[in-house]
A and B are shown apart, each in its own frame.
Chain A
Amino acid sequence: MGCSAVRDVIFVTFYFCWVQWERLLSRVEVLSLELNKPDLWDDPVRAGKISREHGSLMGRMKEVKAFERELLEHIDMLKLAQEENDQELETDSLMALLRMRRIVKEKELEALLSGEHDPCSCFIEVQAGAGGTESNDWASIVMLMYKSWAQRRGYGVTVVDEMPGEVAGIKRATIKVDGEYAFGYAKAEVGVHRLVRISPFDSGKRRHTSFAAVAVIPILGEGFSHVQINESDLKIERTRAGGAGGQHVNTTESAVRITHIPTGITAQCQNERSQHQNKSSAMAVLQSRLDQLEMTRLAQMNAQHTQSLTDISWGTQIRSYVLHPYRMVKDLRTNYEVSDPDSVLEGDLDDFILSYLSASLDKDEEN
């Protein structure tokens, strides 16, 4: 056990260092050159920015070097303890290494979830692809997967909107996932999810392929700038108004749909117990959608971000779930795969998410 713990620590630390190290070095070099230029302070704003970045990078380098030194010390101690057969020292060193491994894990996660909106709560939306009942059923399985995933992580889950399929499953659904870093993790799930199985809805027992699209929208908290919504730009309708209404009708159905006329963006909610509450939930969804639209627009203006644009919109296929003729879930972006689809569909998604997040961090480094 001792040896494997050491290997883990070394591996993770190595990984943690090398992900950033090379880039850090070259960036520091560039910044140092800038800092040494005699005309640096002609533009004090830029100079301030450069010297601040230089300072912060130097701090990070120092931190990594100190960490490396500590790691090597503990490994030497462990070797020594084993040579001298000093049980107590061996235990101490192992404990220290294990503690360092925990710190490294935390640091790694910090690096993975450093996006501006990562700490936000979010909405997750699932939309069934074409194909009727089988794909509606797949959409509801995907939705259930996210509900379980979110609950496992201790997030609050509320269904905002759900449009059932005619026979089974759902055509579309939106859930709200409440909690720290919900968006940071869930954003890794954006895209099209593909299922291959023998459809229980096909009496001929044929193999079917169906698709479900997943969108994730951050809920920007206070402190972020929101798109201003003009009351007069909104059209608010009941989605299932029946008959004369008013005193004639006693119904607990109070779903509303809000359309933002200038953009055509809509949001609806039906799961609250009053129309007023349905309206405010739908408004919250609409606000987040408009905020996201604005973020996309800003990102488009900034050429550097065009790379990540495809990550925001629905579209590309990201993962394949095969239940027949073999059993496998494979992420097409990272090639990460597991052979136990059931556990994934029950919400065991963290490994997929983390491997994608690390891969996209690496990709960012390369750019």
Chain B
Amino acid sequence: MLKLSITRASLSVFQTRRLRHIHCSTISCAPTQVKLQTPLFLRPPDHKVTLADLKKWHLWAKNISSLVGSRFLDIDNGPDSTLLHRELDWFIEDAIEQPKSLTEDNYNMSLEVSIRASLDDLYRLWNQRIEERRPFQYIVGCEHWRDLVLCVQEGVLIPRLETELIVDLVENATKRNAELKEGVWADLGTGSGALAIGVGMILGPSGRVIAVDLSPTAVAVASYNVQRYLLQDTITVKQGSWFEPLKDCQLTGIVSNPPYIPSSHISGLQAEVAQHEPRVALDGGADGLDDLLHICNGAASLLKPGGFFAFETNGEEQSQFLANYLTNEAKCFYGVEMTSDFAGIRRFVTGYKKE
């Protein structure tokens, strides 16, 4: 079992290196090529429309959302009308300077309303949501995650609600042992920077987090989010594969939500994920464990004695496998535990490096 895993892990290193190479070549040609998109809610409300036109758009958007019914839900567990209507409310919240003007009783239809994108864009964006199944978070350019609003765009994994709990796990660990607040933490595969920012806030002013991602887009977006929360003194964002940018670091803690979906499952995922989110952030190899095992092995050498780790997994089987691997095969960890998410799926594996 162990041998097999290590082969898998080294294979994944090879794969990620190859990927990194491709990315590196693009970035070396044009290091500033990543174009950051300003999320809707941060754009100036420079566009004016009449209330009548806005209401017409709203009615249209409500209608095409209603027509979906449970179709997407039945096909691939996608959103149903109820969910799309709620997303539409949030879209309005982000797009209109005074969202209430749309819902309040107002009979002055020629009233001018300030919006943050042109009316054409509102039509285009909501059409993309329904017809192309473009994720809501890419449409508005942000995701509300914990008490944060994180900017996201195509090429960056949209942080998942399950992952919020990793920050709670870190908080609990630092409450039990305040020393964990000192020293350097790593967030491997940071994506939008969600975990790095969440953990950075828990650690407080003495904390240091290095956020690593292979994708230049993710690095750019994560850096932007770090700046938005004024955490540039706490968090450094580095480009590279897993532990590579951390050479010789002794880490106090490691958090990671690496790709863990088995390759064969990718094509069957709901359209929002399969057709729009970066495969590199989802595909964990044949059984989904390539990157998780690579990270576990790296943690064995880079984590300080007493250091803490928290990883997200695909669920029951992977958690069980990793907990067993970390305790019985890797032999340098203790206190290995599995924690369930709020859906009752054992989602997280945590533990400490032996002294």
- A-side residues, CB < 8 A to B, are 164, 236-238, 241-254, 256, 271-277
Contact = CB atoms under 8 A, between A and B. Distances in A.
9 contacts: A237-B343, A237-B344, A244-B315, A246-B341, A249-B77, A253-B79, A273-B144, A274-B147, A274-B164
Contacts of B312: 246
B77 A246 contact: no
The B interface, classified by DSSP as helix, strand, loop or mixed, is: loop
Contact of B259 (A243, A247, A253): A247
B90 A273 contact: yes
A266 to B, nearest CB: 14
A248 to B, nearest CB: 6
Nearest to A241: B343
Interface stretch (B57-65, B154-162, B215-223, B224-232): B154-162
Interface residues of B, number: 44
A275 B269 contact: no
A248 B274 CA distance: 9
B314 interface: yes
A243 B82 contact: no
Contact of B90 (A164, A238, A243, A252): A252
A277 B144 contact: yes
B261 A274 contact: no
B273 A245 contact: no
Interface string B115-154: 0000000000000000000011100000111111000000
Given A244-B314, A245-B162, A250 B277 contact: yes
Given A250-B277, A276-B146, A277-B144, A245 B345 contact: yes
A16 to B, nearest CB: 37
A164 B313 CA distance: 34
A287 to B, nearest CB: 18
Contacts of B269: 248
A247 B344 contact: no
A249 B157 contact: no
Contact of A275 (B158, B257, B342): B342
B273 A248 contact: yes
B318 to A, nearest CB: 10
Interface in B305-332: 312-315
Contact of B135 (A248, A250, A254): A250
Nearest to A250: B272
B304 interface: no
A237 B342 contact: yes
The A interface, classified by DSSP as helix, strand, loop or mixed, is: loop
Contacts of B260: 246-247
Given A274-B144, A274-B146, A274-B147, A250 B273 contact: yes
A245 B83 contact: no
A236 B79 contact: no
B315 A274 contact: no
Contact of A245 (B82, B135, B347): B347
Contacts of A253: 79, 83
A249 B270 contact: yes
B344 A248 contact: no
B282 A247 contact: yes
The 6 closest A-B pairs by CB, nearest first: A241-B343, A273-B144, A275-B161, A276-B146, A274-B144, A250-B272
Most chain A beta-carbon neighbours within 10 Å: one of B144, B344, B347: B144
B144 A246 contact: no
A277 B164 CA distance: 11
A253 B315 CA distance: 19
Contacts of B347: 245-246
Interface in B75-104: 77, 79, 82-83, 86-87, 90
Contact of B79 (A164, A238, A251, A276): A251
B265 interface: yes
A254 B157 CA distance: 18
A234 to B, nearest CB: 11
B164 A276 contact: yes
A252 B342 contact: no
Interface string B1-34: 0000000000000000000000000000000000
Nearest to B347: A246
Contacts of A247: 157, 160, 257, 259-261, 273, 281-282, 314
A241 B273 contact: no
A252 B79 CA distance: 8
Nearest to B168: A276
Given A247-B160, A248-B273, A252-B79, A274 B343 contact: no
Nearest to B272: A250
Interface string B263-288: 00100011011000100011000000
Nearest to B258: A247
B147 A277 contact: yes
A20 to B, nearest CB: 41
A276 B342 contact: no
Given A241-B342, A244-B314, A250-B277, 19 more contacts: A238-B341, A245-B160, A246-B312, A247-B261, A247-B273, A247-B314, A250-B270, A251-B83, A253-B79, A254-B161, A274-B143, A274-B144, A274-B146, A274-B148, A275-B164, A275-B342, A276-B147, A276-B164, A277-B147
